[in-house]
Structure 1
Amino acid sequence: MIPVTSDLENKVFPLYELEKQLKPLGYVIGGNWDFNEGSLDYRMSDEDGYQFIRLPFKAEEGMLDSPGAIVRLGQPFILTHVFQAGVEDHADNGVIQGMINQFQSPVDKDAEVPEKYVEKGKRLIEQLEHLLL
């Protein structure tokens, strides 16, 4: 995991507005959310695992599953998830591999992030700053 210093940290937004602006860019609500905290995730690549930008947030007002929830952003970071080798080795189609990977836990949730994705992630986070601030 590579934390990235950003002006987004501690900014407050309606969750609905964040989703409305970021989902068309490919960001999704991460599967690890609960009623008080979650993240917006962007998958940069699926080469040698999955490389993500994660923009964590916590509920400031309301609960995340309720209309009108207001969230405070945390420090964005870049991470790599590595999945088990095995059945998907024979599934060279990206769609099939993605269907298999979505049901398995990563072997390493915090694998080393290749340098090219650190730089790419930082540029994408800068783009988020320009869009949201």
Structure 2
Amino acid sequence: MKFDEIGFEGQEVKFSHVRHAAEASGFVLAEQWDYERATFDYKILNQGDTYYLRVPAYSIKGDIPTNDAICRLMSPVLGKHYYPHGVEYEGESFPESVINRAHSKLDLLKHTLEQEA
């Protein structure tokens, strides 16, 4: 599930700002980052199922994870984890409570990013 109208998609921010805002909002920098891309994840557990709310970012100037790299934020996505295959983003029906929690976290992240600017 893609969240296209959160309000920070396409925003360009220093990596240090987005990392601080994401961590302050409960997201973690996913381990699969490279020098051009990073993903900030928030894990949601609901009735025995695991979901990931992910905020992708990519560098438009400098290398991730240097603090002065400039990143462009992309549309957040919500996916359901299936062991051992990974996370599925499309073709899923997400519980309303999971979607509401995702919106709440994204609102918090947006607010925190605005405070960082």
Query: TM-score band (shorter)?
Result: 0.7 to 0.9
Partner of 2:26: 26
Distance 1:67 1:119, change over 3 A: closer
Distance 2:24 2:39 in 1: 16
Partner of 1:3: 2
Q: Which has the larger radius of gyration?
A: 1
Contact 2:33-2:39 within 8 A present in 1 as well: yes
Structure 1 portions without partners, runs of 5+: 84-105
Cα displacement (A) at 1:114:
2.8
Point out which structure has higher relative CO (alpha carbons under 8 A, 6+ apart).
Answer: 2
Cα displacement (A) at 1:53:
1.4
**How does the TM-score come out when normalised to structure 1?**
0.72
> Would you identify which runs of 4 or more consecutive aligned residues in structure 1 move more than 6 Å?
none
Partner of 2:95: 114
Cα displacement (A) at 1:132:
1.5
- What is the total number of aligned residue pairs between the two structures? 110
Partner of 2:110: 129
Partner of 1:61: 61
Structure 2 portions without partners, runs of 5+: none
Contact 1:62-1:70 within 8 A present in 2 as well: yes
User: Helix, strand or coil for the counterpart of 1:3?
Assistant: coil
Q: What's the C-alpha RMSD, in Å, of the aligned pairs?
A: 1.9
Distance 2:102 2:64 in 1: 26
**How does the TM-score come out when normalised to structure 2?**
0.80
Name the one with the larger helix percent: 1
Output one character per residue of 1:12-48: Cα deviation in whole Å (capped at 9) or x when no partner: 1111122222213321111222211111111122643
Cα displacement (A) at 1:6:
1.3
Structure 2 residue identity aligned to 1:3: K
Q: Show the 5 A alignment for 1:39-50.
A: 39-45=39-45, 47-50=47-50
Contact 2:25-2:105 within 8 A present in 1 as well: no
